[in-house]
Amino acid sequence: MIALESLILEYTERTPKSAELYGKACRALPGGVSANIKFFEPYPIFMDRGEGAWLTDVDGNRYVDYLLSYGPLALGHGHPAVKEAIREQFNRHGSLLYGTPHALETEYAEKIKQHFPSIELLRYTNSGTEATLLSLRMAYACTGKYKIGKFEGHYHGGYNQVLISVNPPLAQAGEAGRPSPVPESAGLEPHQFDNTVVLPFDDLEACSDILREHKDDMAAVIMEPLLAGYIVPTAEFMRGLRKVTEELGILLVFDEVKTGFRAGLGGAQGYFGIRPDLTALGKVIGAGMPMGIVGGKKELLLKSAPIRGSDVFDMSAGKRSAAKDVLFHSGTYNGDPLILRAGLASMEILEKEFEPMTTRTESLKQGLKAIFAAKGIPVNLPGLGTVFNIAITDKQTIGSYRDMQGADLTLRKKIDFALFREGIYNKPTNRYSLSTAHDETVIDFTLEAYKKALARF
């Protein structure tokens, strides 16, 4: 079997300009990247152009893109409808930003509410991370409690309270039914390990026991309804979790940043038929531009509604200020008209093309299963809608982070590096996302690339 070192050498020979640019980047950016997630060894590929389902790097190598910027590009790169929406905003409306309310904020909100019935009111943010952060502050403000429950293996953004047990070494993670909190960053305050309670995914009995222990001081349970955007829990677990959180007076927050308009047009909550108290959205909703949403029950969102004397910046309020009684939320770019215009155009396309996209996703998965089977390599492809991952394992069910850790990640990484040569791009071991631009021709190309790559193993 070909060694990883040989595949990495081949990679460096094909991407010398990326290596050069990475060296320059390291002199200006810590680690040579603008976000830790963009890095992989020996250095990441620097891209120069995207079009449809394809990316071209600075060395002229062309790839089918299955990263899709970690999911947002549900229409692929440079969709004509998104380009036209951006041009219209410039040409007809003349500004990128008003700093005032505008009609598109309401139009876009009504479109979101159409697909997410649990969202009665919503607030715009500038990223999915900011959306989850606001959802937790809203939970604290509405309950007067300050602990949260988060699940092992779930990611909710790059801030302290949730950077715990995202990708923990199993030797440090404790028992499966009662996970130990493991820090995922330097700089976390010690008290976060008391205020963030780690829960076991898809284990209702163990999860319920932990929630009952903390019911008096736990404001919310935040979760990815599909772990990492592709691991699907049982319906019994999801229904049971909704029931126990309601019983205990703990808010249920769905982080659908990865699954919104990916697991389905109504996200994973539409698939399960469950209404969370709050929902965080991001990625797809911005059509490739930075945007997030917090939405949910009217009585919860109204906590952030401005009332007379509640503006923290209103100097005329003086000692009469009621700011402490209102959940403060603001942002210069909230409801950016350019992003809303592009996002609305994207959603209108997805309403027409989502089902065919899921059909092609399933076709790709079935084709990959057949290719792996022909090589005698056991594989499981967990996922829902237009996202899945490739787990090299003989396990029939992937139900948790620990199940994925039990897969052959070394072989998966080798295959991913071999696929670079065949024109398939993804960050090694990352999940696969598809777009409307991944048509039958692209699927066929991908399957042939896999046959060539696996022939080397």
- pLDDT-based confidence at residue 51 (cuts at 50, 70, 90): very high
**Model pLDDT, residue 307:** 74
How many residues does the structure list for the chain? Answer: 457
Mean pLDDT of the chain: 95
Mean pLDDT of 347-355: 97
- pLDDT-based confidence at residue 94 (cuts at 50, 70, 90): confident
Q: Please check whether residue 296 is in contact with residue 136, taking contact to mean a CB–CB distance below 8 angstroms.
A: no
Closest CA to 130 of 270, 348, 336: 336
Look at residue 320 and tell me whether its pLDDT is greater than 60. Answer: no
**Model pLDDT, residue 296:** 98
- Residues with a known catalytic role: 155, 255, 283
Look at residue 315 and tell me whether its pLDDT is greater than 70. Answer: no
- pLDDT-based confidence at residue 318 (cuts at 50, 70, 90): low
**Model pLDDT, residue 308:** 57
Q: What is this structure's pTM?
A: 0.95
**Model pLDDT, residue 322:** 65
- pLDDT-based confidence at residue 71 (cuts at 50, 70, 90): very high
- Per residue in 366-377, pLDDT tens? 999 999 999 999
**Model pLDDT, residue 367:** 98
**Model pLDDT, residue 23:** 98
Mean pLDDT of 405-409: 95
**Model pLDDT, residue 325:** 81
State how far the Cα of 423 lies from the Cα of 450, in Å rounded to an integer.
10
CA distances, 447 to each of 7, 227, 302, 317, 437 (Å): 20, 26, 50, 65, 16
Look at residue 56 and tell me whether its pLDDT is greater than 70. Answer: yes
Mean pLDDT of 75-94: 94
Mean pLDDT of 331-339: 95
> By three-state DSSP, how is residue 219 classified?
strand
- Per residue in 256-265, pLDDT tens? 999 999 999 9
Mean pLDDT of 299-308: 88
- Per residue in 233-280, pLDDT tens? 999 999 999 999 999 999 999 999 999 999 999 999 999 999 999 999
**Model pLDDT, residue 138:** 97
All domains in the chain, ordered by first residue: 4-78+353-454 (3.90.1150.10), 98-335 (3.40.640.10)
**Model pLDDT, residue 33:** 96
Helices (H) and strands (E) in the chain, counts: 14, 16
| Burial environment of residue 43 by CB neighbours within 10 A (0 to 12, 13 to 18, 19 or more) | buried
Mean pLDDT of 29-45: 96
